[in-house]
Amino acid sequence: MERILVTGGAGFIGSNFVHHLVDRTDAEVVVLDKMTYAASRDSIAGLPTDRVRLVEGDIADEAVVEPLAAEADAVVHYAAESHNDNSLADPAPFIRTNLVGTFTLLEAVRRHDVRFHHVSTDEVYGDLDLNDPKRFTEDTPYQPSSPYSASKAGSDHLVRAWVRSFGVRATISNCSNNYGPWQHVEKFIPRQITEVIDGRRPRVYGDGLNVRDWIHTEDHSSAVLAILERGRIGETYLIGADGERSNVDVVRAILRHFGRPEDDIEWVTDRAGHDRRYAIESGKLRHELDWQPRYADFDAGLTQTIEWYQQHQDWWRPAKAATEAKYAQKGQ
Ligand code: NAD
Ligand code: DAU
């Protein structure tokens, strides 16, 4: 049985991957998570205790990381500060976790020759114009816009340098915007669903025409497992499911679901440096590793997600008021 260390495994996407590993492999999983505001014990509750163990700790703390890396066959690295708006308000934790944390993990896997997979984002490539026919590929130059995306870009560069200079056995994936159950209410889709459940208007930045390329988190997990098992060392794979939608279109779909008028929208202050459009060309992953998304229909995935938030109000309500208070201070 393989032992896999999953950093950030109590977060939105990492916890989905932990479930995926338990369902699809025989691996023993150790979750290393600092349990920040973004983590949830509930998201990994109920998994077999002989297969999954949670260690509360910081990836930037060498004393924590060293023994866990020493006993792992592979490390799958999700832990990060992940929210752009937070990085604009206070970049410091992004530098510490996303850069120093990744460095600390790389040094540990180098010492113990452990396979490493680095989970990153399409935001490292900056943005595209709305009418640009191009999509991001593995060859697109890096041009990050926010402190968050710059810290993730830096972490990708660290991984590549550790592969080339030290022979670390690593792969990288850059994925587009995820949606699905267990996503924190600070993020766009859960924020709008929960605003509408609470009888308020969805809150859209700027002109609402910014485009994101949505993928269900289950599809992200299956792609990461394919790369972990069959990806070529040193390679980068873009993960996407052809889910381009403008923000205002997503909000209109949520309003329609609740039988509310489609123009019942609160237009709020735009995000500083707001990226216009992300779009992923995932042909390398699909052809080389024979991967396909299961949630090809975004509207069906969105409906499932809306229903999940309707049914899990006990989970998201404790975070909702504080999240909205933070946004209100910024006129968002
Ligand atoms: P999240 O904020 O929901 O979860 C992050 C997790 O990391 C939390 O459980 C948190 O407690 C943990 N963490 C934070 N700092 C830590 C530290 N110093 N040590 C240990 N654990 C720490 O984020 P997410 O949306 O699940 O994103 C997970 C990963 O996927 C990130 O690396 C992110 O950059 C990447 N990613 C996210 C998306 C997306 O749409 N959300 C898309 C592409 C890539
Ligand atoms: O592309 C991948 C990235 O997707 C990940 O790397 C990040 O971790 C993840 O947070 C996400 O980044 P975004 O900034 O795209 O996601 P967010 O949910 O914050 O916002 C999505 C879009 O919606 C963006 O154009 C900003 C807009 N928005 C967001 C919020 C919270 C609004 O219009 N209103 C809002 O209330």
pLDDT in tens, the chain (332 residues): 599 999 999 999 999 999 999 999 999 999 999 999 999 999 999 999 999 999 999 999 999 999 999 999 999 999 999 999 999 999 999 999 999 999 999 999 999 999 999 999 999 999 999 999 999 999 999 999 999 999 999 999 999 999 999 999 999 999 999 999 999 999 999 999 999 999 999 999 999 999 999 999 999 999 999 999 999 999 999 999 999 999 999 999 999 999 999 999 999 999 999 999 999 999 999 999 999 999 989 999 999 999 999 999 999 999 999 999 999 999 99
Tell me the Cα Rg of the chain. 19
- Residue 286 Cα to ligand 2 middle (Å): 25
For ligand 2, is residue 247 a contact (CB within 6 Å)? yes
| Chain position carrying tokens 């859209």 | 204
Sign of CA dihedral 313, 317, 320, 321: positive
Task: State the sign of the Cα–Cα–Cα–Cα dihedral 189, 191, 195, 200.
Answer: negative
Looking only at the bridges linking them, the beta strands covering 52-56 and 74-77 are: unpaired
Task: Report which bound ligand comes closest to the CA of 183.
Answer: 1
Is 8 touching ligand 1 by the criterion CB < 6 Å? Answer: yes
Residue 80 Cα to ligand 1 midpoint, Å, equals 4
Instruction: Tell me which residue has its CA closest to atom 31 in ligand 2.
Output: 188
Distance CA 248, CA 188 (A): 11
Residues in the chain: 332
Q: Is the CB of 17 under 6 A from ligand 1?
A: no
Q: What is the pLDDT of residue 1?
A: 58
145 in contact with ligand 2, CB cutoff 6 A = no
In this prediction the pTM is 0.98
> Which residues have CB under 8 Å from 160's CB, separation 6+?
172, 234
Q: Whose CA is nearest to atom 15 of ligand 1?
A: 80
* CA–centroid distance, residue 52 to ligand 1 (Å): 19
Q: Which residues are catalytic?
A: 122-123, 148
Instruction: Please state, in angstroms and rounded to a whole number, the distance separating the CA atoms of residues 110 and 105.
Output: 8
Distance from the alpha carbon of residue 79 to the mean position of ligand 1, in angstroms: 4
Do the Cβ atoms of 64 and 55 come closer than 8 Å?
yes
Contact 179, 216 (CB under 8 A): yes
Give yes or no for residue 212 CB within 6 A of ligand 2.
Answer: yes
Predicted local distance difference test score (pLDDT) of residue 148: 98
79 lines ligand 1 (CB under 6 A): yes
Whether the CA torsion 54, 57, 61, 67 is positive or negative: it is negative
Nearest CA to ligand 1 atom 41: 178
